[in-house]
Amino acid sequence: MCRHKLLCLATAIAALSTGIRAAEIPVMEEVVTTATRTARPLDSVTASVQVINASDIRRMGAQTVKEVFENTPGLTLQYGTFPSASSVSKSSVSLRGMGANGTLWLLDGRRLSGEVKNPYDMDRLPASMIERIEVVKGPMSALYGADAVGGVINIITRKPEPGLQGDISARFGANDEGDSGNGNLNGNIRGGSERLLFNLYVSQQDTGPYKELEHTDTRLPVAVAPPPLQAVRGSYAVPVSYREDSQVQTIGGRGEVLATEKLTLGMEFNWFEEDREGSYRAAFHPTGFSPLPGLLVPAFDVPVRSVDDNTRLDIATDLRFDFSQRLSLDLRVYRSDYRKRNVTTMTQYADFAFPSEAASAIDGLKANVGIESVEALVNWSVNDAHLLTMGGELRREQRDATAFSQSTDLATREVGYQALFLQDEWAVTDSLDVTLGARHDGYDQDEYVDSHGHQRRDSTDSEVTWRIGAVQRFNDAFSLRANYAQGYRVPDIRELFIQKRTPMGYQLGAQAIEPLYNKQAQDLAPETADSFELAARGTWHRFNYETALFYNSIQNLIQQVAVDATGNGRDDYLTFMNVSNATTYGLEAHLGYAMSDTASLTLAWTELRTENEETGKDLEFNPERVLALRTDWQALPRLALGATVNYTGEQYYVAGDREQTAADYTLVNLNVAYALGAELRWQLYAGANNIFDQKVDKRIGSNPGPFLFLGLRGSF
C-alpha cells in the first residue's frame, strides 16, 4: 500500500512538472556554527550537519518543534521511554540509533533544565521563534562533553537586526473528527540601531486532547481482595491520552549593545509556563487500604489522571571582545531553572478505597532543577591555515525531587562538571580541510543521605574524548568527507538515584539500596562510543546530493532491566545496568532536483541497523528504513503548493516480557500557501496531514488520523 502511494505521488509530480522549463537553480551555501563553534560554510565542515531553516518551517506550517521534526526526514522520534504514566504522549529524538538519552539539546547553545531526556521540550518550543535548527549527527563530546554521544540539536532563535521588523501568525487545526484540536498565536518584533538591538517573541499554544480507548488488566497482589477493595474490577475502560490537553505560554528575547567597536554585550531570556492533563493506564498505584501502619496495598494496571504545572526561566549574559581580526573572546554566563509539579490520581478512586480523587494523589512527582554554567571561548586565527578554538566550561546541575524516596519531601542530588577543550580547523590546501579536537571533562557527584539514612560519599571521575575529520573538495560536483569521533554519556540522575514506586513500576536507580529485595548499590560506568563516517556531497546542474555511511560502536550500554527478586514470576522492580556493547550502522542519502525555476523535488533515504551484542536483538524503537519524498511548486506568483510522503519501516520493541514489532506506515501530507495583498506580506496557509488515515502502532506514538489546519501569517 505504501509503495503504491509513493509511486502515485511521484508519477503525479512528474506529470505536474511536464512542460515547465528546466533551469539551473543556484544553491546558497549554508553557514553553520554548531559543529565547530565557529561560523563555517557547510561544505567545509567535517561533521554531518542537517539544517532546518526558517523557510523550511514556514513551508511545513509547523506549530511546534515536534511538528518540525515529524516532517523532517532522517530524525527518529521515540515515545514511551520516560518514568511516568503519561510517557505514551511524550517523545524525544534519537540520532542514528543512539537512543533518546544520546541527544544533547541546546537552545542558542545553552543546555536546558527539565525532565530527564527532555521529553516535553518539542511541544514547549514554538516554531515561530526559530531562525534555524542545526542537527549534528555523530558523537560531539570532544566539543560539548557529556550527553552528546549520538549528536547535538541546537535550536537557534531569531536574532536582532537594525531597523524594525515583525511577524505575527495564528493557526488552528483538528483531525477529521474534531479531536486533537490545537491553536496558536505567535508574535515577534526585532530591530534597533547599529549600536542597540533587540528581539522579543511571544507565543500562546493551546492543544486539545486526542484519546484512544483501551481496557486495563487490573489486579491486586492478593488472591482474595479484602473487603475495602472488593469493588475493584478486573478491567476498566480508559480513554488513553496520546495527545494531552495542554496550554503553553512562552516569552523570550535578546538585547545587544555595541559598547565599543571591539566589545559587544548581550542578554537573553526565555520563560514558559505550561499546564497539561491526560488520562492513562498506570502500571502501579497504591490503593487507599492499609493493613499495617505505613503499608498501602498496591494495584496494578489501573486508570489514572495526570496533571502537570511546569515553568522554566532561562537567563543568560554574554560578551564578545575582538582583540584583533584574528583573535576574539566569547564569554557567557547562564542559568536555567525548571519547576515541575505533577499530580497523579486514580479516576476510579472509590473502587480503590479512597474517599475522593484528591485523596488518591499520593504518587505525584515534584522537582526543582537548576543548571548554572560559565563558558569561555577563544578563537585565534593563527594564520590563513589554522583557526584554533580553545575553551573551558564550569557547570553545576542540582535536582531537588521526590523521586529519590517514597516520601513526598524533596531530596537533593548535585553534580558538577569542569572541562577544557581545544580544536584546530586546518586548511591544508584550498580544497582540503581538516578538523582535530580534544576535550577533558571532570565530573563529581556531591555526597548525600539516601532514603534509608545512609551517608553516601562524593565521587569524581573524568573522560577524555577526541575527534578528527577531513573534507576534500574535488569540484562542485564531488567532495569527500571522512570523520572519526568519540562520545560518552554519564548516567543521568534517574538511572543512578531514583527510588520511587512510579506509575511505570517500582524504579530503583543503580545507586539505590532496598533491603526488601536485597538490592545493593551498584556502579554504572558511562556509555562510550566510537563513530566512523564516510560521506560525499555535491551539486551538478539541477541536482544536489549528500550521502553518508556511518558505524557506531557503543560500550557499556545502559538499559533499564526488570528484576524478579523474590522468584514469584513477576518483576519486583526496575533498575539500570551496563548490560552489553552495541553497534549501529547505516546509510543516509539526500537528493534534490530542481525540475524548473518554480518546482523542486527532494528525496531522503535512511537505512539503519542496530544490534545489542549480548542478545543479538535490535535496539528498541529504531526503524530499519525511512524514506521521504517532498515536492514544492510555485504554481502562481502568489500560490505555493507542496506534498510530502513519509515512509517509516518496522521497529522492534519489548512490551512487558513480550517482544513486539511495530508495523511500517506511510503518512502523506499536503500544504498550500497563498499570498495576500500587492506587497505579499500576508499569507493564508493550510494543510492536510495523514490524508489516507494511516494507523500507527500506539507504542511508537499513535496518530490522530487525517489532520487539517488553517493559518494566517504576516510580516512588517
Residue 499 contacts residue 508 (beta carbons within 8 Å):
yes
Residue 467 contacts residue 139 (beta carbons within 8 Å):
yes
Residue 15 burial (CB count, 10 A): 9
Average pLDDT over residues 311-320: 96
Q: State phi, psi for 682 to the nearest 5 degrees.
A: -115, 140
3-class state of residue 107 by DSSP:
strand
Instruction: HSE, CB side, 13 Å, CA atoms: give it for residue 366.
Output: 15
- Type and span of the H or E element at 529: strand 527-540
Average pLDDT over residues 225-237: 93
Check whether 410 has a pLDDT greater than 90. no
3-state secondary structure string, 671-701? EEEEEECCCCCEEEEEEEECCCCCCCCHHHC
pLDDT-based confidence at residue 85 (cuts at 50, 70, 90): low
- Mean pLDDT (the chain, rounded): 87
Residue 716 contacts residue 29 (beta carbons within 8 Å):
no
Q: Which residue has the higher pLDDT, 642 or 87?
A: 642
d(CA 172, CA 31): 33
Beta carbons within 8 Å of 638's beta carbon, 6+ residues apart: 674, 675, 676, 680
Residue 615 burial (CB count, 10 A): 11
Q: Where are the beta strands (DSSP E) in 382-477?
A: 386-401, 411-427, 432-445, 448-449, 455-456, 459-475
The predicted pLDDT at position 505 comes to: 72
Cα 417 to chain centroid, rounded: 22
> What percent of the chain stands above pLDDT 70?
93
Check whether 610 has a pLDDT greater than 60. yes
pTM comes to 0.89
Beta carbons within 8 Å of 40's beta carbon, 6+ residues apart: 31, 32, 33, 425
Average pLDDT over residues 97-118: 83
Check whether 574 has a pLDDT greater than 90. no
pLDDT-based confidence at residue 402 (cuts at 50, 70, 90): confident
Q: What angle do CA 453, 458, 459 make, to 5 degrees?
A: 135
Residue 417 contacts residue 462 (beta carbons within 8 Å):
no
Sheet holding 151-157, edge to edge: 48-53, 130-137, 151-157, 103-107, 110-111
Residue 562, C-alpha cell as written in the block: 526488570
Question: pLDDT for 559-568, tens place per residue?
Answer: 888 888 888 7
Average pLDDT over residues 594-603: 93
Residue 246 contacts residue 275 (beta carbons within 8 Å):
yes
Residue 654 contacts residue 622 (beta carbons within 8 Å):
no
Q: Are strands 658-662 and 665-676 parallel, antiparallel or unpaired?
A: unpaired
Among residues 317, 267, 342, the alpha carbon closest in space to that of 87 is found at 342
Residue 283 burial (CB count, 10 A): 18
> What percent of the chain stands above pLDDT 90?
56
Among residues 352, 397, 476, 431, the alpha carbon closest in space to that of 27 is found at 476
The predicted pLDDT at position 248 comes to: 93
Average pLDDT over residues 601-610: 94
Among the ranges given (202-216, 649-663, 697-711), the one the predictor scored with the smallest mean pLDDT: 649-663
Residue 539, C-alpha cell as written in the block: 551539486
Beta carbons within 8 Å of 165's beta carbon, 6+ residues apart: 189, 190, 191, 715, 716
Average pLDDT over residues 345-350: 94
Q: Which residue has the higher pLDDT, 209 or 5?
A: 209
The predicted pLDDT at position 378 comes to: 97
Place of cell 524478579: 564
Residue type, 416: G
Check whether 273 has a pLDDT greater than 90. yes
Question: pLDDT for 13-61, tens place per residue?
Answer: 333 333 333 333 334 467 889 999 999 998 889 999 999 998 888 888 8
What are the CA-CA distances from residue 35 to residues 46, 154, 169, 353 (Å)? 8, 10, 32, 56
The predicted pLDDT at position 25 comes to: 35
pLDDT-based confidence at residue 551 (cuts at 50, 70, 90): very high
pLDDT-based confidence at residue 8 (cuts at 50, 70, 90): very low
Check whether 221 has a pLDDT greater than 70. yes
